[in-house]
Structure 1
């Protein structure tokens, strides 16, 4: 039986990228199609006020990345936080990526803010200090495409770190069997990352831009993380 995942899309792509990539919801659907656990998806753009009807049941809710700040005061962010807190209190499983990772950390007692380290872009490597039964296939080091200038700087007190680097200490965490979050973008493709880097080349500066472009020659573990997410959702279901 397929897992049912609600994707809460928290951004609209830049106009010049929409035709090729459509949106983050579509990117996640394509990502999860490449891992072995059957799942079906419903996408709601919460930035535009779209939410699932109350009578629809899902096995998990996934919060995507966004250009917005997780600590921002935009009305749609406040609405989303209230929705997610309600789901959390009901015991639903929650997944977060980038903005979603930061928002869930904030919502559950952690802290997220503009990072003193500056922009993180390109392919980034993380140590994997912990192991959980749903972290299969097993890897010693995790590589993911990233694009963020904000970071989680304090975790909720009941959270466990599962990926860390000197640049980003709290790059992935879980809270029991209920919350799983990643700062990196498993759904990104190299060409989409390249397009974002080119659009931001001026603001990134030559050193950061050139290093990020060089890193795009390497593979990343996006499909592995997608499988971890689906195994997490299926675990103790």
Structure 2
């Protein structure tokens, strides 16, 4: 029966902290939970050099976050970037998250590096721009919504022809689209409230050194249903694109 379902590949670009993995599972599992059950999902470990053959073999592509840094240009990461560039060229629906967002931008000629103001972590607001109103993925979403975030690197410059869709006061490139069907989002639609709190717990010593108040950040974590709903939206888009 699964053969009639759209085929989606998750490119796993790393793993979460061991203590979080033990309690909540790993990145790919969170995406599987958030995506529609009506998809036939396969996970490839891109960090281990495991990539699918032709992007056109898939109806949709999701790229996870990673503790790695895109600017390090590790061989596995550069190979994955080249593969993503092919996927965009072939107009395969694609959603890159955090590292995946940055890798997509890098793959298409954008610039990725450390954010000049440091780390962004916790539950923050994302503001959608006018261009998101008729975007196939973001249409109908509220102009501002909460999202879970944790990153040190950012897309410093978008690829040519990319359309900026979302931002906030800290991060000017929270969401973009390139071509018809490829999106990058800096925020984490796959993070639950509990996972976000767990991240801030693990990061607490670093956060203190960087001048943050980790406990206040944990206390301010809330659910982010609109951001989380992006995975179901992407699932619906893949299904529609496959049916068309």
Same fold, judged at TM 0.5 (above): yes
Q: Which has the higher helix share?
A: 2
Residue 157 of structure 1 corresponds to 160
Say yes or no: does 1:110 pair with 2:110: yes
Could you say what secondary structure the match of 2:212 adopts?
helix
| 223-232 vs 96-105, which moves further | 223-232
| 94-103 vs 135-144, which moves further | 135-144
| 102-111 vs 86-95, which moves further | 86-95
Once residues 117 and 235 of structure 1 are traced to their aligned partners in structure 2, the CA distance between those partners, rounded to angstroms, is 40
Superposition RMSD in Å: 2.2
Once residues 179 and 75 of structure 2 are traced to their aligned partners in structure 1, the CA distance between those partners, rounded to angstroms, is 30
Could you say what secondary structure the match of 1:71 adopts?
helix
Say yes or no: does 1:222 pair with 2:227: yes
Could you say what secondary structure the match of 1:227 adopts?
helix
Once residues 160 and 208 of structure 1 are traced to their aligned partners in structure 2, the CA distance between those partners, rounded to angstroms, is 35
Residue 125 of structure 1 corresponds to 125
Once residues 56 and 176 of structure 1 are traced to their aligned partners in structure 2, the CA distance between those partners, rounded to angstroms, is 16
Unaligned runs of 5+ in 2: none
Once residues 221 and 58 of structure 2 are traced to their aligned partners in structure 1, the CA distance between those partners, rounded to angstroms, is 35
Q: Deviations over 1:177-228 (max 9, x none)?
A: 2211110000011111112111111111163423421221354423321133
| TM-score (ref. length: structure 2) | 0.86
Residue 91 of structure 1 corresponds to 91
Could you say what secondary structure the match of 1:207 adopts?
coil
1:176 Cα deviation from its structure 2 partner: 3.1
Could you say what secondary structure the match of 1:200 adopts?
helix
Q: Deviations over 1:31-76 (max 9, x none)?
A: 114xxx8322111111122223559821121110000011212221
Unaligned runs of 5+ in 1: none
Once residues 60 and 136 of structure 2 are traced to their aligned partners in structure 1, the CA distance between those partners, rounded to angstroms, is 18
**4+ aligned runs moved over 6 Å, structure 1:** none
Once residues 180 and 224 of structure 1 are traced to their aligned partners in structure 2, the CA distance between those partners, rounded to angstroms, is 15
